Structure 1
Amino acid sequence: MREGSLDAPVRHPIRWNDPDFYDWEKINDELERVFDICHGCRRCFNLCDSFPLLFDLIDDSPSGELDSVDRSEYKKVVDACTLCDMCFMVSCPYVPPHEFDLDFPHLMLRYRAAERHHGHKLGMEGELTKTDRNGKLAAIAPWLANWASERSNGLTRPLLERVAKVDRQADLPKYHGKPFIKQARNPETVNSAAPAAGRKAVLYATCFVNYNNPDIGVATRRVMAHNGVETEVVYPRCCGMPQFEQGEVEKVAEAAREIAGELIGWIERGYDVVALTPSCALMMKFEWPLLLPEDETIKRVSQATFDVTEYVVDIANKEGLAEGLQPLDGGVALHIACHARAQNMGNKAREMMKLVPEAEIKQLPRCSGHGGSWGVLKGNFETALKVGKPVARDTYKAGHKYVASECPLAGTHILQGLERIDADTAAEDKKPVPNRAHHPIELFARAYGLID
């Protein structure tokens, strides 16, 4: 067989119900097989920190080969993986259907799932993944939650660092007092309407939009209404991505069944499903069907799901967009989220923003380094900034008014990288640093004049 493959990547179902999936001897044998192939290739040296760690372990070993690396060291490589999927979707020439059959992220997932299966509990940092519980509690007194999470809070952030291992320098998402699912009941979230385009979409709010930034949801509804799309909003629970990253596959499967069970009724009534953040769209389109390959409801939800930028571009290509887009009052440094790229749908955020007249776009295709809850932890935060430095550097050089990312956590992380760069820049060379990052749909709504 030829070196590498020109065929489209395919993924095998995640056999989490098979006892062999959790067998440590079989897992370590597979890690050894995959790591040895990665050692011989090294194409992913500049992605996440897993690969530099792996290559350093090998290069510093007595033989300079994997055979003299103790298997106990493999966990360091596993723990550094953020499940961004860029090695699988972008870099690796040996993914299925190649005979080498490499799926590095899902092997890291299997290792973590085995840890959970064999009773290796998450510490207090695992509480970060309970997004629904945290969001509901914070909504009771958002001012208190936001005060406690503020980087400048010298009382609570050192405590959070000691108890939950959250780096005191890492920016944390702010909470909103009125979740998006409640705001959606207010007709003011939809303030414009055009002749019906014949489309109906149910917006899956996502935990981040629901609890942390409802403005993304409001902007989406207004853009949809302006383009004649009838929308409803649902949010049964988190899609499971935070638990997926930690290997809690059984919990993710439970969430998938519950959410799909609610969405299928909308699909049967002719609604498309639109996810408001790319990590959730990735889970719904690809990871859920791999976890539950025999579930027909999951399959139908997967086939009916769009990422929000993908959906707007689809409207533009098929029905044409409603009139009214005006140039923005500045350029946009546009980060392409890893979980958007992993959906294998093309660069839809850039396509959407290019629909804005006279759009000045600086594309940022590399990883922001954040990696979900991984990037805020003590010991990871500085590595996350290092991985994301090329994106922050390119953003700073562009000097545009707006920073945007489909991934809200990535956008905030890029701003922290900009702070570091700005602090190290001579006064005469400094450039303005935006004080917030936007989701592209917010800027699109602004170009329509639908939000301020």
Structure 2
Amino acid sequence: MTTTRTDGHVPAQALLRADLTTRAAYVSDASIYRRVPAAVAEPRSVEEIRDLLALARERGWPVVSRGGGTSVAGNAIGDGLVIDTSRYFNRIISIDPDAGTAVIEPGVVCDQLRDAAGEFGLTYGPDPSTHSRCTVGGMVANNACGSHSVAWGTSAENLIAVTVMLADGREVELTAGATSDDALTATLAGIRNDHRAMLRTELGQFPRQVSGYGLHYLLEEKGFDTAKAFAGTEGTCGVITRMTVKLVRKPAHTALAVLSFDDAFDAATAAPALRVRDVSTIEGMGGDLLDALRMRPGQETAGQELPEGGGWLYCEVGGRTLEEAEARALELRAIVDSAGKVTVRNAVVVTEPGEVRALWRIREASAGIVTRLPDGGEAWPGWEDSAVPPEHLGDYLRDLYGLLAELDLRGIPFGHFGEGCVHIRISFDFATDAGVEVYRTFIERAARLVHRYGGSVSGEHGDGRARSELLSTIYSPEALQSFREFKRAFDPEGVFNPGVLVDPEPIDRGIRPGPGARQFELKPVHAFTHDGGSVAGALNRCVGVGACRSDVGAMCPSFVATGDEVHSTRGRMRSLAEMLRGDFLKDGWKSKETLEALDLCLSCKACATECPVNVDMATYKSEFLHHHYGEGLRSFVGRNRRPMAHATMGWLPVLARLMNLVPGIPALANASMRIKPLQKTVMRLGGVETQREMITFADKPLTSWFKARAKTSGRQAGDDGTGRPSVVLWPDSWTNFMSDGPGKAAVEVLEAMGYRVLIPMGDVCCGMTWHSTGQLDALKREVARTLGVMEPLLEAGYPVIGLEPSCTVMLQDEITELLPGDPRAKALSERTVTLGRFVADHLEAGGDWPFRPLEVEGRAAEAVCQVHCHQKSMLGYDPELKVLEKLGVDVDMVGGGCCGLAGNFGFEPGHLEVSRTLGERELFPKIRAAADGTIVLADGFSCRTQIAEGTDAEGITLAEVLRAALPPAS
């Protein structure tokens, strides 16, 4: 039991998370390296950090500080105690707009600080591509820079003061001119005095030289700035507890110029000429990056906004007015051309915020995009962010490509070309000893190459485990000695992040995807067609860029609710990978720890599109549950039995089908469940969360209503003689058995549009409930049976219209992965569309439009719209928005992603708090704040159920909105 003092302080022992589930989530950061920590702790205060350091000393553990875990060089991992400040130690203490400073704790996320500063017209200058989730403490530790460093510099240059806790629990403040500890100040002055000439000639020679320690800041001409010298120490000298950082004034207006060149080499050669007034970014990327992006699902046409070329520079230009910024941006092409080194092929200047954001999104997703090459091959960090003086970048890049070709390696370049820094992910083969040897050969030769150009093996991410060994290649013995003296001044016992910078570990030690990473070779049920049929190939997608830790967009709901790394997509991927490795999660598919990590995954599928490498955790979770529990009745008995909710929720379509064999049973069941004690007893026996409300059933299925209607009207039988085109309405289990209103509305709408509506004559089901509960054998049987029912309709070539988004995604996406050789599955996938897509296509084709503008109480209708998470991630909602715009509906979109119910997830015990927390994130507040008469639009049955329980509103579907817009029957 955790005990606390009366002041709320938690003892260090109680802060430790030493369970295998947590440790598995922290084995890596965004690098290729793996270290299993002894324990993880998430302190809330300086006092708790002090106690943790004392406990670590007592147990002989080394200590690593960690923020967002987006370090690419293996800086934020270790085999001792990992202190994660991102979850709780993350306050913005104060902002002084007059002084242009902020005082913060290290766990503050970069965008969190930028947003807070933005209220005063200020911003925090450093902005790496991970700015939505990296912490400022981590940025300072690695001396991160970002795209605006041309104007605003590195994290070191934006650091005014830093307070650091040493291994003995003392806090020292570092500033320009001194430290708060006289002895430490004297020691640092001595290091400067002993190495003054070397510091002036080897360090600080160009903007992105961040390898090693920044000891040049100790020079007199730099103001003996001990704070800036501490930046870039990568957690090797102490734990940051507080920082004062500089804020900068944002330009009043900006324009984005994108210049294209024949290739990335020409872009790199052109970049130095653009280091002129008002230009705050000079970002580059190569054409292969677009090819890699376009292989992603739904991204086939990405990058159309870019001017034609094989390499690009992104140049943001500021001005006092928009016209001034745009005029300055238009001058950049001529500046490059007049330099006479290369020619600009094309150029565009963009000022509209949405267009600017779309262009930047391509560049900022690069770190994830390029982990998969255009042919689908894997690419890895390692030689991640080398830098040279900008005037040498073009030549250096050509030589680097020559080295790649010589060793039969490939990569895609991008980076901060204006400052000579280039990022590249490379097709290293880490699965074999020979491949690892090629990796070492390349890295050693690349280090010699970058040294020849007067460069640095790291330009912003730090040296970490990836490059610390290479410091002896680019620096003199005297420089290395000064680094050792500096670390010893802060950390004489070598407690903090050993193996990094000083006394470095070998670059090929403990590579995560290296030989021995797969003890278990497991045959999946899903085809995994995008990963060569391999579970391990799918898990290698995640390199840890951490987009799942951002609260922007829809990914990852459970991390947003908990702030726990275990419950991020990345944490789950690490657990699955450790399960395959089998050295400390030893039970393979039976791993209880991996089951725990997957438990709060809502299977919302946001990661399938929002993750830069398209991790599809919903599919991986389904596959895991299938193997973990097994199939059939035996899976519900014994020690490793399935939750009872897998029976009641997973087999709900069959249960509903059976209930309707006897007329009147659904109505009787509804009446019985209105007796609360009986309802709660039934829910408890069914393994369902008793604080939920029991779902109700339609009096009779939609299909029965449709058959009866067709019998009396003749609509269904044969050709009605009008020549109307036929469409198939998919009777998903929710619409068919629980909420038939949307189905009836869809029939009326489609007929009003001039179509003959058909509904399958036998029971059909997409199998979604079996998929979400991991009962894949039953799912395949159900889908195969359904395809038999659908065969005549598929042969006729009719479009199939889905109303329930999750079922539509199953038909479009999942069934071809489960039955990859069945041509009927392929045909059904290709012919299935949402109602919104079908209506939008009908409108675009000039079809009949029987609808009136929709009004409520004499004014244009307004709607709060909750897009189902599967639709948002896999189908898109643009067609629906076009239809709603045509109807005159003013739509306020809920931007928080999944509603929180997520099918069976919200009904399973233990998930209620997360489910309701997600509802309260944005959905419930938007509905409560909406004006009277506002439509609450939600196509998902789960979304409407969550809305009904969390608010006083009742959600309706697009089909019902369209029906309301039909003129009254004459």
The answer to whether TM tops 0.5 is: yes
Equivalent of 1:143 in 664, 667, 671: 667
Could you say what the CA RMSD is over the residues aligned between the two structures, in angstroms?
Answer: 3.7
Distance in 2 of aligned mates of 1:182 and 1:283: 24
Quote the offset at 1:264 in angstroms: 2.6
Residues 357-393 of structure 1, C-alpha deviations (whole Å, 9 max, x = no match) = x322222242211110111222112211111221111
Equivalent of 2:767 in 209, 231, 240: 240
Equivalent of 2:524 in 1, 12, 21: 21
Query: Structure 1 residues 29, 289: CA separation in 2 closer, same or farther (over 3 Å shift)?
Result: closer
* Contact 2:603 2:902 (8 Å CA) reproduced: yes
* Contact 1:408 1:439 (8 Å CA) reproduced: no
Query: Structure 1 residues 228, 198: CA separation in 2 closer, same or farther (over 3 Å shift)?
Result: same
Quote the offset at 1:123 in angstroms: 3.1
1:437 aligns with 2:918: no
Quote the offset at 1:189 in angstroms: 11
Equivalent of 2:725 in 175, 199, 202: 199
Query: Structure 1 residues 450, 183: CA separation in 2 closer, same or farther (over 3 Å shift)?
Result: farther
Quote the offset at 1:244 in angstroms: 0.2
Residues 338-363 of structure 1, C-alpha deviations (whole Å, 9 max, x = no match) = 1212333443332222221x322222
The aligned counterpart of 2:781 is 254
Query: Structure 1 residues 114, 270: CA separation in 2 closer, same or farther (over 3 Å shift)?
Result: closer
The aligned counterpart of 1:363 is 893
Distance in 2 of aligned mates of 1:202 and 1:131: 23
Distance in 1 of aligned mates of 2:878 and 2:712: 27
The aligned counterpart of 1:134 is 655
Residues 108-129 of structure 1, C-alpha deviations (whole Å, 9 max, x = no match) = 2221121133854423212222
Partner of 2:864, secondary structure, is strand
Query: Structure 1 residues 57, 279: CA separation in 2 closer, same or farther (over 3 Å shift)?
Result: closer
* Contact 2:800 2:833 (8 Å CA) reproduced: yes
Equivalent of 2:943 in 385, 394, 410: 410
The aligned counterpart of 1:104 is 617
Query: Structure 1 residues 297, 48: CA separation in 2 closer, same or farther (over 3 Å shift)?
Result: same
* Contact 2:867 2:877 (8 Å CA) reproduced: no
* Contact 2:561 2:918 (8 Å CA) reproduced: no
1:238-317 equivalences in 2 (<5 Å): 238-317=765-844
Distance in 1 of aligned mates of 2:863 and 2:711: 25
Distance in 2 of aligned mates of 1:278 and 1:352: 17
Residues 44-86 of structure 1, C-alpha deviations (whole Å, 9 max, x = no match) = 7962216776844499xxxxx9899974433222121121111
Residues 299-324 of structure 1, C-alpha deviations (whole Å, 9 max, x = no match) = 11111111122111121111334234
* Contact 1:336 1:347 (8 Å CA) reproduced: no
The aligned counterpart of 1:217 is 743
Equivalent of 1:352 in 863, 883, 903: 883
Quote the offset at 1:220 in angstroms: 0.6
Query: Structure 1 residues 108, 144: CA separation in 2 closer, same or farther (over 3 Å shift)?
Result: same
* Contact 1:202 1:272 (8 Å CA) reproduced: yes
Query: Structure 1 residues 384, 225: CA separation in 2 closer, same or farther (over 3 Å shift)?
Result: same
Partner of 1:171, secondary structure, is coil
Quote the offset at 1:405 in angstroms: 0.7
Distance in 1 of aligned mates of 2:693 and 2:839: 30
Distance in 1 of aligned mates of 2:710 and 2:964: 16
1:47 aligns with 2:574: no
Distance in 2 of aligned mates of 1:324 and 1:201: 19
The aligned counterpart of 2:284 is none
Residues 90-138 of structure 1, C-alpha deviations (whole Å, 9 max, x = no match) = x21122xxxxxx3333222221121133854423212222223322354
* Contact 1:338 1:367 (8 Å CA) reproduced: yes
Distance in 1 of aligned mates of 2:756 and 2:731: 15
Alignment coverage as a number of residue pairs = 413
Distance in 2 of aligned mates of 1:362 and 1:315: 24
Distance in 2 of aligned mates of 1:378 and 1:334: 28
Query: Structure 1 residues 293, 136: CA separation in 2 closer, same or farther (over 3 Å shift)?
Result: closer
Of the structure 1 ranges 103-112 and 289-298, higher mean CA displacement relative to structure 2 is found in 103-112
1:385 aligns with 2:916: yes
Of the structure 1 ranges 253-262 and 279-288, higher mean CA displacement relative to structure 2 is found in 253-262
Equivalent of 2:930 in 386, 398, 403: 398
Query: Structure 1 residues 280, 386: CA separation in 2 closer, same or farther (over 3 Å shift)?
Result: same
Distance in 1 of aligned mates of 2:547 and 2:741: 47
| TM-score (normalised: structure 2) | 0.39
Quote the offset at 1:32 in angstroms: 8.0
* Contact 1:331 1:360 (8 Å CA) reproduced: yes
Residues 167-215 of structure 1, C-alpha deviations (whole Å, 9 max, x = no match) = 2232333211211111002338999x99968421111111011111222
Distance in 1 of aligned mates of 2:756 and 2:292: 42
The aligned counterpart of 2:904 is 373
Distance in 2 of aligned mates of 1:297 and 1:405: 30
The aligned counterpart of 2:255 is none
Amino acid at match of 1:383: V
Quote the offset at 1:268 in angstroms: 2.2
Query: Structure 1 residues 407, 196: CA separation in 2 closer, same or farther (over 3 Å shift)?
Result: farther
More contact order relative to length (CA 8 Å, sep ≥ 6): 1
Amino acid at match of 2:595: K
Amino acid at match of 1:281: T
The aligned counterpart of 1:85 is 605
Residues 413-441 of structure 1, C-alpha deviations (whole Å, 9 max, x = no match) = 023222xxxxxxxxxxxxxx43x211111
Partner of 1:81, secondary structure, is coil
Query: Structure 1 residues 29, 3: CA separation in 2 closer, same or farther (over 3 Å shift)?
Result: same
Distance in 2 of aligned mates of 1:236 and 1:311: 23
Equivalent of 1:322 in 826, 836, 849: 849
Quote the offset at 1:35 in angstroms: 6.9
The aligned counterpart of 1:114 is 627
Distance in 2 of aligned mates of 1:248 and 1:185: 32
Query: Structure 1 residues 57, 360: CA separation in 2 closer, same or farther (over 3 Å shift)?
Result: closer
* Contact 2:643 2:687 (8 Å CA) reproduced: no
Distance in 1 of aligned mates of 2:949 and 2:831: 36
Rg comparison, structure with higher value: 2
Distance in 1 of aligned mates of 2:699 and 2:630: 37
Quote the offset at 1:219 in angstroms: 0.6
Distance in 2 of aligned mates of 1:190 and 1:223: 19
Quote the offset at 1:247 in angstroms: 1.1
Of the structure 1 ranges 28-37 and 275-284, higher mean CA displacement relative to structure 2 is found in 28-37
* Contact 1:341 1:347 (8 Å CA) reproduced: no
Partner of 2:759, secondary structure, is strand
Amino acid at match of 1:42: R
Distance in 2 of aligned mates of 1:214 and 1:248: 26
Query: Structure 1 residues 41, 246: CA separation in 2 closer, same or farther (over 3 Å shift)?
Result: closer
Query: Structure 1 residues 41, 83: CA separation in 2 closer, same or farther (over 3 Å shift)?
Result: closer
Residues 229-274 of structure 1, C-alpha deviations (whole Å, 9 max, x = no match) = 0111125232100000011112222222222222231132242111
The aligned counterpart of 1:182 is 704
Query: Structure 1 residues 53, 131: CA separation in 2 closer, same or farther (over 3 Å shift)?
Result: same
| TM-score (normalised: structure 1) | 0.80
Distance in 1 of aligned mates of 2:566 and 2:643: 26
Query: Structure 1 residues 148, 401: CA separation in 2 closer, same or farther (over 3 Å shift)?
Result: farther
Query: Structure 1 residues 412, 244: CA separation in 2 closer, same or farther (over 3 Å shift)?
Result: same
Equivalent of 2:544 in 37, 40, 49: 37
Distance in 2 of aligned mates of 1:197 and 1:318: 18
Amino acid at match of 2:821: E
Partner of 1:155, secondary structure, is helix
* Contact 1:219 1:450 (8 Å CA) reproduced: no
Distance in 2 of aligned mates of 1:132 and 1:5: 40
Please, which runs of 5 or more residues in structure 1 have no aligned partner? 13-17, 60-64, 96-101, 419-432
